A and B are shown apart, each in its own frame.
Chain A
Amino acid sequence: DAGVTQSPTHLIKTRGQHVTLRCSPISGHKSVSWYQQVLGQGPQFIFQYYEKEERGRGNFPDRFSARQFPNYSSELNVNALLLGDSALYLCASSQQGQSYNEQFFGPGTRLTVL
């Protein structure tokens, strides 16, 4: 059974551009969460989606948005990129949406903003 997958693995953009990151959860998992991990820091929570609905949102500007599709895959969109958006973006899936469910992480997308 495949784990959580993310695409692309690496991405280079310039300031002001838009980016879309994709995540496919483990089969049977209905919840997807997104995290931003800046080098040398712990992951920061961005969003959680469960059954296509946003369940939680972290302290990120409106330039960040996400959605979950009927097959439970998810996209994270970031508009008007800033240099500070350079980070590893991690997606995690869990079976249900409760806060106590174990989360399984994908390999991440490394975003570099120049």
Chain B
Amino acid sequence: GENVEQHPSTLSVQEGDSAVIKCTYSDSASNYFPWYKQELGKRPQLIIDIRSNVGEKKDQRIAVTLNKTAKHFSLHITETQPEDSAVYFCAASTHYQLIWGAGTKLIIKP
């Protein structure tokens, strides 16, 4: 079955700097790759997603890239702000299952 690995587990960046979170997946049939943000005690919120026929997608300060050959996808957050502090999850979807990474705790230092 599908397996998703996510790195790093914790990422601390200075406010205003960029943050990059990386994920790899194992099932070449995966065709949808969402990223979720989860604040403490709250539900996951979709922040951006990408489908397998696209290599890159951007939405304001957030971008996602996908390398299907290498089975890698990454989340890029530019000009980080205090409200970006949260746990971020990547996921890969195949065969009616959404398989999640273990999460990255993003800390924005003032």
Contacting B46 at CB < 8 Å: which of A43, A44, A102?
Answer: A102
Compute how far the CA of A50 lies from the CA of B42 in the bound complex, rounded to whole angstroms: 25
- Give the chain B neighbours of A90 by CB distance below 8 A: 43-44
Interface residues of B in 25-54 (CB under 8 A from A): 31-32, 34, 42-46, 49, 51
A41: nearest residue on chain B (CB-CB)? B102
Q: Are A97 and B96 in contact (CB under 8 A)?
A: yes
Asked if A106 is an interface residue, CB under 8 A from chain B, the answer is yes
Asked if A33 is an interface residue, CB under 8 A from chain B, the answer is yes
Q: Are B98 and A33 in contact (CB under 8 A)?
A: yes
- Give the chain B neighbours of A44 by CB distance below 8 A: 100
Q: Chain A: how many interface residues by the 8 Å CB criterion?
A: 25
Asked if B61 is an interface residue, CB under 8 A from chain A, the answer is no
- Give the chain A neighbours of B91 by CB distance below 8 A: 42
Q: Are B97 and A99 in contact (CB under 8 A)?
A: yes
Q: Are B31 and A99 in contact (CB under 8 A)?
A: yes
Q: Are A100 and B98 in contact (CB under 8 A)?
A: no
Q: Are A48 and B101 in contact (CB under 8 A)?
A: no
Q: Are B100 and A43 in contact (CB under 8 A)?
A: yes
Q: Are A105 and B44 in contact (CB under 8 A)?
A: yes
Compute how far the CA of A44 lies from the CA of B101 in the bound complex, rounded to whole angstroms: 9
Q: Are A43 and B44 in contact (CB under 8 A)?
A: yes
Contacting B102 at CB < 8 Å: which of A42, A50, A103, A108?
Answer: A42
- Give the chain B neighbours of A105 by CB distance below 8 A: 43-45
A107: nearest residue on chain B (CB-CB)? B43
Given the interface pairs A106-B43, A108-B43, the reply to whether A99 lies near B100 with Cβ below 8 Å is no
Asked if B81 is an interface residue, CB under 8 A from chain A, the answer is no
B99: nearest residue on chain A (CB-CB)? A45
Interface residues of A in 73-92 (CB under 8 A from B): 90
Taking Cβ atoms with an 8 Å cutoff, the residues of B that contact A are 1, 6, 31-32, 34, 42-46, 49, 51, 89, 91, 93-103
- Contacts A59-B1, A108-B43 known; 6 new A-B pairs at CB < 8 A: A45-B99, A90-B43, A97-B96, A99-B98, A102-B49, A103-B46
